[in-house]
Amino acid sequence: MKIQSDIFGKLADGREAQLFELQNDNKVTVKISNYGAIITCIETPDKNGVTENIVCGFNKLEDYLCEEYLGSYPYFGAIIGRFGNRIAKGHLEIEGKTYELAINNGPNHLHGGLVGFDKKLWEAETFENENSVGVKLSYMSPHLEENYPGNLKVTCIYSFNNNNELGIEYLAETDKTTVVNLTNHTYFNLTAGKENILNHELMLTATKMTEMVEQIPTGKIIPVENTPFDFTTSKTFLRDMEKLPTGYDDNFVFDNKAGELKYIACLKEATSGRKVEVYTTQPGMQVYTGYWNPELIIGGVKKFGSYSGVALETQHYPDSVHHNHFPTTLLKPGELYNEKTIYKFKV
């Protein structure tokens, strides 16, 4: 296993972003930038041994910063915070005090606001040990950044091993009661972008989901059985898509109250033979099939567009700040937020 770093590009203020390349002995490669803690590339072999990139991302920092991409912003590969997913009306109440957050997704607050963790330059420290290589990324979010209370110290540890397991561990501490819901927004396409993801098959261990009205939970946890949202047996996204005009963008419930690291999902694609298994301590996962992904011209070539990738965002439930019976996203001084997700690549 090895890890190397290079300059990824410069931000508008002149600061340099780095790109870290993690490679295991199976020649599987993961590339991560400290800008937005973004996974830019995951190169894995198909059933014929052909190695290709299986996630949506760019080779240059400037493509992440361009107006065309940001104008229809899909958060490719980024760490999302302080609060992944939506908060209804941007309204947050903590210990009797009200905080109004940015409205940046219809009438709601999405993915931490106007300048979330996905647009921050994180401090980076690489590590190598007997079992893995990786990069530890740190960010200090000041009190009232995006109007969230508390100075929040956040750490994201990416690790990669010879079992083809990409681990993402999140740690956070605060000096004032706040809310935290961190996730990663990588979009997978196991055909390496040659086709869209509608013929990918997904299996989930979830038998329930949060009932949603216009992307906001009603508070009800409902069964998926006999609905288009039943992935308890592996099926393609295409199979029930006719009932969902903009595809899937829904939170599935895993009943993981103890926060154990559990197997929850398998994404696979027949032509390439590639598979991704998902393990997590988180209680939920948003499955988003990327209907709103922009079509972009990159290096003279058309790329991405609707259904160009599927995001498997392990998380706490959307809008959990307004539903006391949902797993809590409150973090108090003296407590440690600690969640972990593993993506395991197979053929």
Catalytic residue among 43, 111, 173, 185: 185
Q: Is 323 a catalytic residue?
A: no
Contacts of 257 (CB under 8 A, 6+ apart): 283, 327
Q: How far apart are CA 111 and CA 278, in angstroms?
A: 21
Which of 43, 313, 323, 339 is labelled catalytic?
313
- Cβ atoms 116, 80 nearer than 8 A: yes
Cis peptide before 239 (omega within 30 of 0): no
Residues 6+ apart with CB under 8 A from 60: 8, 9
Q: What are phi and psi of 285, to 5 degrees?
A: -150, 130
Q: How far apart are CA 38 and CA 31, in angstroms?
A: 8
Lookup: tokens for 150: 């508390």
Residue 339 a catalytic site member: no
Q: Which residues are catalytic?
A: 185, 313
